Structure 1
Amino acid sequence: MKFLILFFIIFISGCGKEEEKPAPPPPEVKVFTVETKDIPVSNEWIGQTFGAEDIDIRARVNGYIDGIYFTEGTEVGKGTLLYTIDAKELQQEVLEAKGKLSEAQTLLIHAETEVNRFKPLAEAGAVSVQRYESALANYDAHKGNVEAALARLNLAEINLGYSRVEAPISGIIGITQFKIGDYVTKTPGSLLNTISNVDPIKARFSISEKEYLSFRKDAIQEISTTGRRSLNTKVEMILSDGTVYPFEGKVNIANRQVDPSTGTLMLEASFPNPDKLLRPGQYSKIRSVTKILTSALVIPSRAIGELQGQFQVFVVDSENKTSLRTIKKGQQFGQFTVIESGLNAGERIIAEGIQKIKSDMIIAPQNFEFPSDTNKSENK
């Protein structure tokens, strides 16, 4: 009987004990060590591209276009024949001018003969001096007529040459504004086409007075090969699809005055364009570093939380325990933010998933790699 009672007590006490479960491991959390960096601060402006040379091709004589000798949108070389304008009337004007010149030259020869004939007679007293002087004046008049006729011939030949429209520069030619059979005029000169030299290509953009002063302060002043002062400030271009143009540009011209209506100054940058990717008239963003924030405290932007207008981060101590701390943040640059106060270099913070973190939690810290594209930062 005693044995049964002892067994029952042991059985009851055994059933009353719960099986103890092991504590869950601390969560793995990405942790970033606050560090200092020199942050290049970039600004962006809207720019438009222009050819290094944009030359309008205009008619310089009246007439009908009777020939077009290029493919629109392709490269043409300097001196390439582009258009011909019906030259029949111009050729007749040349022939007429030649006839007038020949007539004037004949009369001049006759007048010269008269001078040579009367000169010795006047010296001998056989004819009056007045007769000789009259012959001499007649010679001078015909000489002037010859010069005028020669000038008219030269002008007629020049106009005849204008019936052949050639490329004044090498570049890309646009879409023709006139077709074969269209009538063009020299006054005003009918715009036939435009040729653009696009390598290098220019981009013009406007900046504020304050930004311009920053350019001037940091830029290296130099006299370029063209004799103009160059700002020598490097810029890059962001195309309309968001990609960065592979060639770096340089600001080399600033306009002579600030636009009083906008308070901005126009700058011009030059970009290499060997593949002819850029064409005149394109809009893009021009980006340039305007200042450097030296030894700035930076953390990932995603590490910052906001509560009732205050910005906070979770700090991780030496025992991997979290605590919430209020900070004062500065400018944001893409994936990271500058911290003005509340943190020190070397402290660790939660970099990701702060919504799941509470104060006084024990965590298993995992290294968070800072974004690698911090060299090009846009001010926000």
Structure 2
Amino acid sequence: MSLIILAAAGIGLWLFLKPKTEVSRPPIVAVEPVGTSDVNIYGEYAGRIRAQQFVEVRARVEGYLEKMFFEEGTHIDKGQTLFIIDQKVYKARAEKARAQLLKARANSQKAERDLARIRPLYEQNAASQLDLDNAEAAYESAKAEESVAAADLTQAELTLSYTRVTSPISGYVSERSADIGTLVGPGGKSLLATVVKSDSVLVDFSMTALDYLNSKNRNVNIGQRDTNREWEPFVTVTLADGSVYPHRGLVDFASPQVDPATGTFSVRAEMPNPDHVLLPGEFTRVRVLKDVRTDAISVPAKAVEIERGGAYIYVVRPDSVVERRFVETGPEAGNNIIIERGVAAGENIVTEGFHKLRHGMKVLPQASAPSDSTATR
């Protein structure tokens, strides 16, 4: 029994004399000061590309299709000949009209000479008033017939010109819609091909009513160009492979009213397409500036945690104690999030290492690389 008592006393003495465990050091956390900057807020919307011009090439006269002068799917120029329709009938009509004009012109000249002979005879009382009236009427009638013949020739030549079918615009031509030898025109197949102008294209998309109204309230009225401001409402689009199209477009139309079925505004942008990468009918993602925040507070998105109670961040006080603070977040801006309420400029927030933190804990703050608060999304 005495041995047990001595052993217990020895253990107690050892525990009393054992060096105290060193107090753990505060965790090291990366911090970043909160600043303000002007932030552009972008919205992304589903869009569809369409051709700026889509023209149907149709036969305006009836006849058999004789020749084709283009390669399907290639680029053609405005005024380039695409098809020839059988010209024989129309050439004959033009020649007949030309002959009729020559005949009418000869009759007119004869009537003019007759009138010139009658007038002096009438003045010498060698011709009656009736003779003069008949000569004048014959001359006026001959001149009118000449005008009619000239109009008939113009019409015949115009109709003949329609047998040579040309492209009304420059662009890419489709495959032919009628084969050589087909009867085309009013009594046959009139559509011959289509031409699409794709040097520039239009992109249609819809903005929510809230985004559109916010853009107006924030002086970012995308539907109105303003020569006094330093920027225009540019847009960018995403290609099918997910890459961003290198050329920017410009909003050139915004609907003056809300679509009652969808609650959205229809918006249109014109995009340059020099390499013909954007294809009409293709769907895309449209990115457009919808808001500009002046002196906005934004923090790295990685610094914001979200739970049921809302979003919060860790703020490091001057005494190096962290404070868990709930904040009201705004829209995202690139890698950052705008903070509407809850943190002030100049305060330090934790950007890394906050997962091991608790409210009121002492920390060792360490400056982190500053984030780009003006990054956009």
* TM bin (shorter chain): 0.7 to 0.9
- Cα 1:267–1:189 shift into 2, 3 Å: farther
Structure 2 CA distance for aligned equivalents of residues 273 and 281 of structure 1: 14
1:155 Cα deviation from its structure 2 partner = 1.0
In structure 2, the residue matched to 1:153 is: 153
1:160 Cα deviation from its structure 2 partner = 0.9
- Cα 1:222–1:195 shift into 2, 3 Å: farther
In structure 2, the residue matched to 1:221 is: 226
Please list, as runs of the form range in 1=range in 2, the aligned pairs for 1:1-380 lying within 5 A after superposition.
29-185=29-185, 190-207=190-207, 208=209, 210=213, 211-212=215-216, 214-216=219-221, 221-222=226-227, 233-241=232-240, 242-253=242-253, 257-258=256-257, 261=260, 266-317=266-317, 322-352=322-352, 354-359=354-359, 365=365, 367-369=367-369, 371-372=371-372, 374-377=374-377
Q: Does the 8 Å contact 2:68/2:84 carry over to 1?
A: yes
1:156 Cα deviation from its structure 2 partner = 0.7
1:327 Cα deviation from its structure 2 partner = 3.0
Q: Does the 8 Å contact 1:220/1:231 carry over to 2?
A: no
Q: Does the 8 Å contact 1:305/1:354 carry over to 2?
A: no
Percent of residue pairs bearing the same amino acid type: 29
The AA in structure 1 aligned to 2:226 is: Q
Structure 2 CA distance for aligned equivalents of residues 369 and 27 of structure 1: 18
Structure 2 CA distance for aligned equivalents of residues 61 and 164 of structure 1: 10
Q: Report the secondary structure of 1:97's partner residue.
A: helix
Structure 1 CA distance for aligned equivalents of residues 314 and 227 of structure 2: 50
Q: Does the 8 Å contact 2:84/2:164 carry over to 1?
A: yes
Structure 1 CA distance for aligned equivalents of residues 154 and 231 of structure 2: 48
User: TM-score, length-normalised on structure 2?
Assistant: 0.76
1:187 Cα deviation from its structure 2 partner = 8.8
1:137 Cα deviation from its structure 2 partner = 1.4
CA RMSD in angstroms, aligned pairs only: 4.1
- 1:189-245 Cα deviation digits (max 9, x unpaired): 93433434433444444554624564449976349xxxxxx9962312222434322
Structure 2 CA distance for aligned equivalents of residues 110 and 47 of structure 1: 71
Q: Report the secondary structure of 1:345's partner residue.
A: coil
The AA in structure 2 aligned to 1:247 is: H
Structure 2 CA distance for aligned equivalents of residues 372 and 74 of structure 1: 46
Structure 1 CA distance for aligned equivalents of residues 226 and 192 of structure 2: 41
1:323 Cα deviation from its structure 2 partner = 4.4
Q: Does the 8 Å contact 2:65/2:184 carry over to 1?
A: yes
- Cα 1:369–1:99 shift into 2, 3 Å: same
The AA in structure 1 aligned to 2:276 is: K
Structure 2 CA distance for aligned equivalents of residues 215 and 45 of structure 1: 17
- 1:127-181 Cα deviation digits (max 9, x unpaired): 4321332233123212211211121111111111111122333333334333323
Q: Report the secondary structure of 2:294's partner residue.
A: strand
Structure 1 CA distance for aligned equivalents of residues 199 and 222 of structure 2: 29
- 1:77-134 Cα deviation digits (max 9, x unpaired): 2332122122122112112212322333344344445434544444444443213322
- Cα 1:118–1:325 shift into 2, 3 Å: closer
Structure 2 CA distance for aligned equivalents of residues 79 and 47 of structure 1: 33
User: TM-score, length-normalised on structure 1?
Assistant: 0.75
Q: Report the secondary structure of 2:233's partner residue.
A: strand
- Cα 1:265–1:222 shift into 2, 3 Å: farther
Where structure 2 has 5 or more consecutive residues not aligned to the other structure, the ranges are 1-5
The AA in structure 2 aligned to 1:221 is: D
In structure 2, the residue matched to 1:5 is: none
Structure 2 CA distance for aligned equivalents of residues 188 and 47 of structure 1: 38
Structure 2 CA distance for aligned equivalents of residues 190 and 142 of structure 1: 40
- Cα 1:367–1:180 shift into 2, 3 Å: farther
1:288 Cα deviation from its structure 2 partner = 3.0
Q: Report the secondary structure of 1:276's partner residue.
A: coil
In structure 1, the residue matched to 2:3 is: none
1:72 Cα deviation from its structure 2 partner = 2.8
The AA in structure 2 aligned to 1:36 is: T
Structure 1 CA distance for aligned equivalents of residues 231 and 28 of structure 2: 49
Deviates more, 1:291-300 or 1:204-213: 204-213
- Cα 1:265–1:308 shift into 2, 3 Å: closer
Q: Does the 8 Å contact 2:335/2:376 carry over to 1?
A: no
Structure 1 CA distance for aligned equivalents of residues 361 and 33 of structure 2: 18
Structure 2 CA distance for aligned equivalents of residues 177 and 231 of structure 1: 49
How many residues align? The count is 362
Q: Does the 8 Å contact 1:231/1:253 carry over to 2?
A: no
Q: Report the secondary structure of 2:100's partner residue.
A: helix
Q: Report the secondary structure of 1:233's partner residue.
A: coil
